[in-house]
Amino acid sequence: MQIASMVVLGFVLDLLLGDPPNWPHPVKLMGRAISRFTKRFNRETDSAQTRRFWGGVLWFLIVGGTGIIALSIMWGVAQLNRWLTLALGTYLSYTCLSIRGLVIESQKIIHSLQGHHLEKARRQVGMIVGRDTDQLSEEEVCQATIETVAENTSDGVIAPMVCLIIGGPVLGLMYKAVNTLDSMVGYQNEKFADFGRFSACADDVINYLPARLTWVLLMVGSMLLHYDFRTAFIVGRRDRKKHRSPNSGFSESVVAGALDLRLGGPHYYFGELVTKPYIGLASAKSARTADIKLTLRLLYVAAWLCLSLCVILRYFLWKGLA
């Protein structure tokens, strides 16, 4: 049950500390390695096939390298001391989760909008979304924040927690490598369409089951919070596949239904208009800061539900093997 202890303690640590910018973080190292490799091998002069090849090489280097390094470190520490292993595993598990960090960034946006600082809110939301934000209205800033909270409930909370409970910090960090690659090079634009294709496809495959688990957890969460569960189920079932990503629509559709919002639609990415289908009822209300707060509550409930489920399953697995 040591892995379960690492996950629980890492979860609590994330709720207490968030993601202090000056603390050492494995994802920062991953990002630097990805950036250097991309500058060296994502060349405009290369053919599409060559760029796809190097994009695949990058994925295996980062994900495989992360797994090998994490496994080596955990194994080495395990030879020294059991409690040191627990401490290191807890810290690495904590770095795989991003509940508190997502809440803090969302609250910054809420405070800026409530203070009528739209320009500041645009810059802040630009830190957590991939779309262009310099021309967003207040409603669109709220919508973008809600969408990224909904999507990151799966990518930043449920999926890494499931990986952690299955394979400990090693598998958790490998998942973070997959997710970081997708966020950095998985864009469907001219610069990364070929180089980032493997990373984007791999992320879709690996997040297939976690996205659907998130759908269930958010649905249960909307019922526990006395949100509009009936509409959440209707919209969640109808619109879960109405997204360019095969996974993102699952969480966004539940949130849209539960809060009576209309999410999705066309957005600009790097100056290019990307058309996306709308998610939610056509008669839905406009997004406001209060809806961001409601989405954050749903995030917390889904996270606690997932933690409870993971620990229970791990316990029975351990009992079965004992």
**How sure is the predictor about 320, in pLDDT bands with cuts at 50, 70 and 90?**
low
Burial class (CB in 10 A: 0-12, 13-18, 19+), 49: exposed
The span from the CA of 25 to the CA of 96, in Å, is 9
CA-based diameter of the chain, in Å? 61
**Which amino acid appears at position 258 of this protein?**
A
**How sure is the predictor about 232, in pLDDT bands with cuts at 50, 70 and 90?**
very high
H helix runs in the chain, sequence order: 2-17, 26-41, 48-78, 82-96, 99-114, 118-126, 138-152, 159-185, 197-206, 208-224, 229-239, 248-258, 289-321
Encoded tokens for 172:
């958790």
Total-model pTM? 0.93
- Using alpha carbons only, how large is the chain's radius of gyration in Å? 20
pLDDT at 223 over 80: yes
H helix runs in 46-158, sequence order: 48-78, 82-96, 99-114, 118-126, 138-152
pLDDT at 159 over 80: yes
Q: What integer pLDDT is reported at residue 174 of this predicted model?
A: 98
pLDDT at 190 over 80: no
Q: What integer pLDDT is reported at residue 321 of this predicted model?
A: 58
Of 91, 74, 94, which Cα lies nearest the Cα of 82?
74
Average pLDDT over residues 215-243: 95
Average pLDDT over residues 264-274: 81
Q: What integer pLDDT is reported at residue 83 of this predicted model?
A: 93
The span from the CA of 209 to the CA of 149, in Å, is 19
Instruction: For residue range 38-91, list pLDDT tens digits in order.
Output: 999 999 888 999 999 999 999 999 999 999 999 999 999 999 999 999 999 999
Instruction: For residue range 283-319, list pLDDT tens digits in order.
Output: 889 899 999 999 999 999 999 999 999 999 888 776 6
**Rounded to whole angstroms, what are the CA distances from 288 to 104, 170, 232?**
17, 39, 18
Mean pLDDT for all residues in the chain: 93
Instruction: For residue range 233-263, list pLDDT tens digits in order.
Output: 999 999 999 887 889 899 999 999 999 999 9
